[in-house]
Amino acid sequence: MALEVYKFGGASVKDAPGVENVSHIIQSNQVEKLVVVVSATGKTTNALQQVVQDYFDKEKDPFVKLNEVKNDHLNLVKSLFPNNRAAVEDVMDAFVEIEWMLEDDQGDPYDYFYDQVVSVGEVVSSKIVQYYLNTLGLNAVWLDVRDVLLTDNTYREAKVDWKETERRIFQKCTVLFETHHIVVTQGFIGSSSENFTTTLGREGSDFSASIFAYCLSAKALTIWKDVAGVLTADPRLFQNPSKLDRLSYREAIEMTYYGAKVIHPKTIKPVQNKSIPLYVKSFKEPKALGTLIDEYVSESYPPIVVFEHAQCLLRIATRDFSFVAEEHLSLIFEKIAKHRVKVKMMKNTAVSFILSVDDDPIKVKALFEGLNAQFNVSKESGLELLTIRHYNEETIKSLTSSRVILFEERLPNTIQMVVKPIDTLKLKDEV
Ligand code: ASP
């Protein structure tokens, strides 16, 4: 079937004009069969995360923040559907289940509880978009992604059961497209085999859209953003970066893995595996071309700069001056895997091993403690990982002049450096 997948992030549906704009993009593009994957509106996921935190800290009443989220959504649905009480009620009903959870004190584990509460953001936003498409006269149906996207029960970082998910998505969407043109569903969330809600990791809605594109062998996937496409640097950090018109899957996966925030790094593999073109376009300028990511390999790219903030360096040294040999390395990697720490750069010397990792305080602390029994470990946080693809000396110089380089690796077309800004030189942290 000639089918496409669109993904709209929180910024695109943050208010009533946003929902209207998204719906007009869908309406004007007239795709024969369209799956629309939606994130929670605006900053809803952060707010719901705060609700969970307040529930566990027991210092603040979690209902205060939850009521703010509910009120924002109530105002949104009332302004979008002033005459459709059923729609307003249906959207607001989605909050009831988490209210029950917040009233109870069942001693549920944090990650499990987090997924049950935070996921409601996507449930309500996708319902809102579906109702609005219906008010425009479009034939859209709402799909609960938890009926089709099966995961394991690693809450907050669930792994997809690809075989079953592919079977379910294909079967369900084939039936829905017999009577509808548009299927609206949620990004970010899935379901375990026990029917509990899971989430795929923050910013995971891009990945959800890519899963749908893969399972339905879509003709194209379009991710609608508030930027013109994939840029040569983050526009929040650099003035006037230029837009890349086209880039390869390989280039895109390298950029996003090392911190380019434009799309989630897990988005690339599913579309690459089926050669599905991935477009990154602006919902503010929907007619503009954006960036096309596909198999195309360019002869020459401009320098592409990616910063990953919140990095820390772990220096792991043997205690008795023995070499860092195979047994040590396998032990270190075993602990990294166990604590799910994300490694961005690494290097060994005769008696030490240096790692730059994402500074997730809980995971890094567990790794630090796990290694400290056997090695001397030190940790330095507050660092940045700077990656320059297709670098030239001028770009390196301009980016490193106000930074101290702590760790560097140069390959023919990529240079990576763990750096700290000069004005915030910090003493080593103890974990
Ligand atoms: N709403 C989720 C988040 O903010 C997922 C996403 O937007 O991709 O992380």
Q: Ligand 1 centre and the CA of 39: distance in Å?
A: 6
Mean pLDDT of 100-106: 89
Q: Ligand 1 centre and the CA of 410: distance in Å?
A: 33
pLDDT(93) > 50: yes
The confidence band for 1, taking pLDDT boundaries of 50, 70 and 90, is low
Sign of CA dihedral 361, 262, 206, 226: positive
Mean pLDDT of 376-400: 94
Residues 6+ apart with CB under 8 A from 222: 4, 5, 6, 7, 278, 279, 280, 281, 290
Residue bearing the CA closest to ligand 1, atom 8: 203
The minimum-distance atom of ligand 1 relative to the CA of 9 is 7
Q: For residue 343, what are the CA distances in angstroms to 201, 262, 264, 385, 421?
A: 16, 20, 17, 11, 21
Mean pLDDT of 83-94: 95
Cβ-based neighbour number of residue 167 at 10 Å: 14
pLDDT(422) > 90: no
Mean pLDDT of 22-33: 96
Cβ-based neighbour number of residue 405 at 10 Å: 12
CA 175 to chain centroid, in Å, comes to 29
Query: Phi and psi dihedrals of 412, rounded to 5?
Result: -50, -40
* pLDDT of res. 312: 96
Q: Ligand 1 centre and the CA of 17: distance in Å?
A: 20
Mean pLDDT of 285-300: 92
pLDDT(429) > 70: no
* pLDDT of res. 238: 84
State pLDDT tens for residues 241-272. 999 999 999 999 999 999 888 999 999 999 99
pLDDT(98) > 90: yes
Name all contacts of 360-367 with Cβ < 8 Å and 24+ positions apart.
363/339, 364/312, 364/314, 364/339, 364/431, 365/431, 366/339, 367/314, 367/335, 367/336, 367/339, 367/341
Mean pLDDT of 282-295: 96
- 3-state secondary structure at position 259: coil
* pLDDT of res. 106: 77
* pLDDT of res. 230: 95
State pLDDT tens for residues 191-207. 999 999 999 999 999 99
Task: Specify the higher pLDDT residue, 36 or 431.
Answer: 36
* pLDDT of res. 297: 84
Query: Phi and psi dihedrals of 228, rounded to 5?
Result: -70, -15
Mean pLDDT of 9-34: 97
* pLDDT of res. 423: 61
Cβ–ligand 1 contact at 39 (below 6 Å): yes
Cβ–ligand 1 contact at 187 (below 6 Å): yes
The minimum-distance atom of ligand 1 relative to the CA of 208 is 8
The chain-wide mean pLDDT, for the chain, equals 94
Of 283, 300, 289, 297, whose CA–CA distance to 232 is shortest? Answer: 300
pLDDT(97) > 90: yes
Q: Are 415 and 389 in contact (CB under 8 A)?
A: no
Q: Ligand 1 centre and the CA of 321: distance in Å?
A: 46
Q: Dump strand ranges (E) for 39-85.
A: none
Six-digit token string for 309: 């903030």
Sign of CA dihedral 91, 93, 97, 103: positive
- 3-state secondary structure at position 116: helix
Q: Ligand 1 centre and the CA of 222: distance in Å?
A: 17
Of 381, 382, 416, 411, whose CA–CA distance to 399 is shortest? Answer: 416
With tokens 């500074």, the residue in question is: 359
Of 240, 217, 348, 224, whose CA–CA distance to 302 is shortest? Answer: 240
Six-digit token string for 65: 């923040």
Q: Ligand 1 centre and the CA of 61: distance in Å?
A: 24
- Which one of 22, 45, 125 would you pick to mutate in the ligand 1 pocket, going by the greatest count of ligand atoms within 8 A of its CB? 45
The minimum-distance atom of ligand 1 relative to the CA of 201 is 9
Cβ–ligand 1 contact at 45 (below 6 Å): yes
Residue bearing the CA closest to ligand 1, atom 6: 203
Cβ–ligand 1 contact at 203 (below 6 Å): yes
* pLDDT of res. 431: 33
pLDDT over 70 for what percent of the chain? 98
Residue bearing the CA closest to ligand 1, atom 2: 203
pLDDT(50) > 80: yes
pLDDT(217) > 90: yes
State pLDDT tens for residues 317-327. 999 999 998 99
* pLDDT of res. 240: 84
What is the domain partition of the chain in residue ranges? 3-294, 304-424
With tokens 């605006």, the residue in question is: 42
Q: Are 176 and 143 in contact (CB under 8 A)?
A: yes
* pLDDT of res. 426: 44
Q: What is the CA radius of gyration of the chain?
A: 23
Q: Ligand 1 centre and the CA of 182: distance in Å?
A: 22
Cβ–ligand 1 contact at 42 (below 6 Å): no
Mean pLDDT of 105-116: 93
pLDDT(74) > 60: yes
Of 169, 222, 206, 251, whose CA–CA distance to 29 is shortest? Answer: 222
pLDDT(393) > 70: yes
Q: For residue 218, what are the CA distances in angstroms to 1, 150, 173, 248, 251?
A: 8, 20, 12, 18, 22
Six-digit token string for 359: 């500074």
Cβ–ligand 1 contact at 23 (below 6 Å): no
Of 224, 226, 188, 221, whose CA–CA distance to 205 is shortest? Answer: 188
CA 286 to chain centroid, in Å, comes to 22
pLDDT over 90 for what percent of the chain? 90
* pLDDT of res. 425: 43
Six-digit token string for 126: 């996708």
Q: Homologous superfamily of 304-424 in CATH?
A: VC0802-like (3.30.2130.10)
Q: Does domain 3-294 have CATH number 3.40.1160.10?
A: yes
* Distance separating alpha carbons of residues 190 and 196, to the nearest angstrom: 8
